[in-house]
Amino acid sequence: MGELVMAAKITHVPSIWLSIQPGRHYGIRRPAEEALTEIGRRARERGAETFLVADTHWLNTIGFHLNGKERHRASYASHELPHFIHDLEYDYPGDPELAELIREEIVAGGQKARVHTYKDLGLEYAMLVPMYFMNGDSSIRVLPIGCNMYSTIEENRRIGEALLRAVRRSGRKVAFLASGSLSHAFPPNEIAESLLDDVSSEINRSVDLAVLEMWKEGRIGEFVGMLADYNVRCSGEGAMADTAMLFGLLGWDGYTGRGEQLCPYFGSTGTGQVVVDFPVPVLAHEGRTVQ
Residues 125/129/132/133 CA torsion (nearest 10 deg): -160
Angle between helices 30-45 and 125-134 (to 10 degrees): 70
Q: What percent of the chain has pLDDT over 70?
A: 97
Q: How far is residue 279 from each of residues 69, 78, 122, measured CA to CA in Å?
A: 29, 33, 31
Average pLDDT value for residue range 107-121: 97
Chain segment 7-56, per-residue pLDDT in tens:
999 999 999 999 999 999 999 999 999 999 999 999 999 999 999 999 99
Q: What is the DSSP string of 138-167?
A: --SEEEEEEEETT--HHHHHHHHHHHHHHH
Model confidence at 290: pLDDT above 60: no
How are beta strands 3-10 and 276-278 bridged, if at all?
antiparallel
Model confidence at 288: pLDDT above 60: no
Q: Which amino acid is at 189?
A: N
Name the pTM for this structure. Answer: 0.96
Phi/psi of residue 73, each to 5°? -140, 120
The answer for residues whose C-beta is within 8 angstroms of residue 237's C-beta and 6 or more apart is: 56, 180, 181, 184, 271
Q: How many residues does the chain have?
A: 291
Give the model's pLDDT for residue 282. 81
